[in-house]
């Protein structure tokens, strides 16, 4: 399932988020703060980070089926982005 791209105007970034984004763009090659593609990449990385947190909690609660499902979904995202 593909999600259509949004314009930057739809995303309301706080000053703190904007500053962090600017700093990261200095450190990460190809990251452009005003680019929808870069914001999509950041969003994808955020989803992966959140997935890791949820997976760790699922491990603590012995929820193996959730761990496996999240692993398959995360792997598909990483492969589709060619990271």
Q: Where are the domains of the chain?
A: 42-83
What are the helix and strand counts (H, E) for the chain? 3, 0
pLDDT at 69: 92
Q: Once rounded to an integer, what is the mean pLDDT over residues 24-48?
A: 84
pTM summary value: 0.65
Which of the 8 DSSP states describes residue 14? -
- Scan for tokens 């990460």, then name that residue: 28
């Amino acid at each position: 399932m593909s999600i259509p791209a949004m314009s930057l105007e739809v995303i309301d970034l706080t000053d703190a988020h904007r500053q962090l984004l600017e700093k990261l763009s200095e450190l990460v090659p190809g990251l452009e703060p005003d680019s929808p593609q870069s914001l999509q990449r950041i969003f994808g990385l955020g989803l992966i980070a959140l997935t890791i947190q949820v997976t760790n909690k699922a491990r603590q609660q012995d929820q193996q089926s959730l761990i496996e499902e999240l692993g398959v979904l995360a792997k598909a995202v990483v492969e589709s982005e060619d990271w």
